[in-house]
Amino acid sequence: MRIDILTVLPELIESPLGHSIIKRAIEKGIVEINLHNIRDYSRNKQKQVDDYAFGGGAGMVMCVEPIDILISRLSNERMYDEIIYLSPDGERFTQQTANFLATKDNIILLCGHYKGVDQRVRDHLITREISIGDYVLSGGELAAAVITDCLVRLLPGGISDETSALTDSFQDNLLAPPVYTRPANYKGWLVPEVLQSGHQRKIDEWRHEQAEERTLRLRPDLFKRKE
C-alpha cells in the first residue's frame, strides 16, 4: 500500500510515522508513506500557499493552484483509489471505513489548514472527505497520522499477530471485552476464573457477553447499529 500525505507542515507528522508499528511496516515494505510539502508547488516567489477569502471574513484559505499541481503530478505517475481531504465536516472515520481503505493500493491524504481549502479543490480534485471527530484541530496532519496508523495495522504483516486487529473494538460494532495479564491476584484484585479455566469455548462466550454488556453500557449507539 502507498499513502501520500499532502501538507504545509510535514515536520508535524514525521514523528508519528517514524516509530512503532508504522516504522516496522515501512521497513518491511508493507507500506510506503510519502510526505509532500505543498509549498514546494507554489508558483509564488514567497512560496505562499494561502490567501484571503473572497467576500472577506477572518482567516486565510489554502489556494487551489499548488494543491492541483501536486495532485496532478502524483496522479500522472499512478492511479489513486481515493484522494481524501481531511476536514471537520467530512464523513466520520470509523473502523469500517478503515477496513475499506486498507484494501486499496494507493491513497492521498490532503491535510487542511488555516480556514480550509478553496472549495474548488473539494469540488474537482477530491474523491472523499473524512473527519476523525466533531472538533477542530489546527490542521489535518494529526488526523492523517491517526488514519495512517489505523490503516497500517490492518495490512497483512502490519502487526505481528494479525488476528489481534480482527478482535479490536468496533470491528463488529462492539467494544472490546476486558483484558487481564499476570499476576492473577494483585492486592486481592482477581482475574475472572473463566479466563484461567483453559476452556476456550467458555472463554469466548464470556468475552462476547462482556463485549455486549460494555457496548450497551458505554456506547449504546453502536449496539443499535449492530442490530
Instruction: 16-25: list long-range contacts, CB under 8 Å, 24+ apart.
Output: 16/142, 16/145, 16/148, 16/149, 17/145, 17/148, 21/149, 21/152, 21/153, 21/158, 21/159, 22/148, 22/149, 22/152, 25/152, 25/155, 25/157, 25/158
Burial of 201: CB neighbours in 10 Å, binned 0-12, 13-18, 19+: exposed
Angstrom distance (rounded) from CA 158 to CA 37:
26
Same domain as 129, residue 221:
no
Per-residue confidence (pLDDT) for residue 66, from 0 to 100: 97
Same domain as 94, residue 32:
yes
Per-residue confidence (pLDDT) for residue 162, from 0 to 100: 56
Same domain as 206, residue 98:
no
Same domain as 104, residue 77:
yes
Query: Between the CA atoms of 97, 102, 106 and 108, what dihedral angle is there, to the nearest 10 degrees?
Result: 40
Angstrom distance (rounded) from CA 20 to CA 173:
27
Same domain as 213, residue 124:
no
Ranges 1-10, 123-132, 172-181: which has the least confidence: 172-181
The yes-or-no verdict on residue 169 having pLDDT over 70 is no
Per-residue confidence (pLDDT) for residue 67, from 0 to 100: 97
Same domain as 100, residue 187:
no
The whole domain housing 187 covers 169-226
Q: Is residue 17 part of a domain?
A: yes
Q: How confident is the model at residue 105 (pLDDT cuts 50, 70, 90)?
A: very high
The yes-or-no verdict on residue 81 having pLDDT over 80 is yes
Same domain as 108, residue 27:
yes
Same domain as 107, residue 135:
yes
Mean pLDDT, residues 188-217: 94
Q: Is residue 137 part of a domain?
A: yes
The yes-or-no verdict on residue 160 having pLDDT over 90 is no
Q: Is residue 164 part of a domain?
A: no
The yes-or-no verdict on residue 165 having pLDDT over 90 is no
Same domain as 133, residue 203:
no
Q: Are 141 and 12 in contact (CB under 8 A)?
A: yes
Provide the β-strand partners of residue 86: 111, 130
pLDDT per position as a tens digit, 184-198:
999 999 999 999 999
Mean pLDDT, residues 110-130: 95
Mean pLDDT, residues 123-152: 95
The single residue listed with the C-alpha cell 471485552 is 177
Burial of 78: CB neighbours in 10 Å, binned 0-12, 13-18, 19+: exposed
Q: Rounded to whole angstroms, what are the CA distances from 109 to 126, 148, 158, 168?
A: 10, 9, 20, 24
The yes-or-no verdict on residue 84 having pLDDT over 90 is yes
Per-residue confidence (pLDDT) for residue 120, from 0 to 100: 96
Per-residue confidence (pLDDT) for residue 163, from 0 to 100: 57
The yes-or-no verdict on residue 226 having pLDDT over 60 is no
Average pLDDT, the chain: 91
Per-residue confidence (pLDDT) for residue 221, from 0 to 100: 87
Percentage of residues in the chain having pLDDT higher than 90: 78
Same domain as 190, residue 135:
no
Q: Is residue 23 part of a domain?
A: yes
Q: How many domains are contained in the chain? A: 2
Nearest to 172 by CA among 92, 93, 96, 91: 96
The yes-or-no verdict on residue 166 having pLDDT over 70 is no
| DSSP symbol at 39 | G
Q: Is residue 12 part of a domain?
A: yes
Per-residue confidence (pLDDT) for residue 158, from 0 to 100: 84
pLDDT per position as a tens digit, 3-60:
999 999 999 999 889 999 999 999 999 999 999 999 999 998 889 999 999 998 888 9
Q: Is residue 119 part of a domain?
A: yes
Same domain as 146, residue 173:
no
Q: Is residue 158 part of a domain?
A: no
DSSP states along 159-219: SS-HHHHHTSTTTTSSPPPP---S-SEETTEEPPGGGGS--HHHHHHHHHHHHHHHHHHH-
What is the domain-level CATH number for residue 106?
Answer: 3.40.1280.10
Record the pTM: 0.87
Same domain as 200, residue 135:
no
What is the domain-level CATH number for residue 192?
Answer: 1.10.1270.20
